[in-house]
């Protein structure tokens, strides 16, 4: 039997709360974000999983979420690999802007296209397809082989870097992935078959908070 892959989006950050485009910027978790990470960690503890290794991005909000989850699991010393391949989508010129201000500057429709299209990047930034172009090779070379060896692997990352992975794992089209939002701090548990396809997927927690 192959191993287990768990994906968790970081808890709410200060810039999520302020409705700012975050991208590769490095805001802190909010109190709610810390609470979400604790809730996700407790859900994994209740599920009874112990990890062999963890992966996270180069950004503090994902790393802090991972730290909190591992504390809940009593696995504070777990080997952790940090790589910017797992970073959030780079929003380029939109980074740090309030989403309403961006709409005022470029128009509602254009900002919606940048946020929700599959392959149209904002100025100086990445589309979801561009994000996947760095996430997928990293997954195939660094993460998947460990899962196929039977290891239990935890990945704490971001809404868009994880959406690009979910797209592949769940076999979604580029149209279907546009409607997918990942809740903050909610673990998704994948069991993989030996051929790397998904045997089962379980979401640990209430998805009603997805945004």
Confidence of residue 206 (pLDDT cuts 50, 70, 90): low
Task: Quote the percentage of the chain above a pLDDT of 70.
Answer: 97
Task: Flag whether pLDDT at 129 surpasses 90.
Answer: yes
Catalytic residue among 36, 88, 126, 158: 88
Say whether 88 is catalytic: yes
In this prediction the pTM is 0.94
Task: Flag whether pLDDT at 208 surpasses 50.
Answer: no
Give the residue from 50, 48, 82, 49 showing the smallest Cα distance to 65.
82
Say whether 109 is catalytic: no
> What does the pLDDT look like over 85-125, one tens digit per residue?
999 999 999 999 999 999 999 999 999 999 889 999 999 99
CB 53 within 8 Å of CB 127: no
For each of the domains in the chain, give its residue range(s) and CATH number, in order of start: 4-204 (3.40.50.1240)
Per-residue pLDDT at 1: 62
The CA dihedral of 99, 174, 12, 28, to the nearest 10 degrees, is -80
Mean pLDDT of the chain: 94
Catalytic residue among 10, 36, 126, 158: 10
């Amino acid at each position: 039997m192959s191993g287990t892959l768990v994906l968790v989006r970081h808890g709410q950050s200060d810039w999520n709360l302020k409705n700012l485009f975050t991208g590769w910027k490095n805001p802190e978790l909010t109190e709610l974000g810390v609470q979400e990470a604790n809730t996700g960690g407790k859900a994994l503890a209740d599920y009874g999983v112990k990890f062999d290794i963890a992966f996270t991005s180069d950004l503090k909000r994902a790393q802090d979420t991972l730290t909190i989850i591992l504390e809940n699991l009593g696995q504070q010393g777990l080997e952790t690999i940090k790589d910017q391949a797992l970073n959030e989508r780079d929003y380029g010129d939109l980074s740090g802007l309030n989403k309403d201000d961006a709409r005022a500057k470029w128009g509602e429709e254009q900002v919606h296209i940048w946020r929700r299209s599959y392959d149209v990047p904002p100025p100086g930034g990445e589309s979801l397809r561009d994000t996947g172009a760095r996430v997928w090779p990293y997954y195939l070379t660094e993460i998947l082989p460990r899962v196929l060896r039977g290891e239990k692997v935890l990945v704490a990352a971001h809404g868009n870097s994880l959406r690009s992975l979910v797209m592949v794992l769940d076999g979604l089209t580029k149209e279907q992935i546009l409607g997918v939002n990942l809740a903050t701090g909610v673990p998704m548990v994948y069991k993989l078959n030996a051929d790397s396809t998904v045997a089962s997927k379980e979401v640990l927690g209430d998805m009603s908070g997805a945004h």
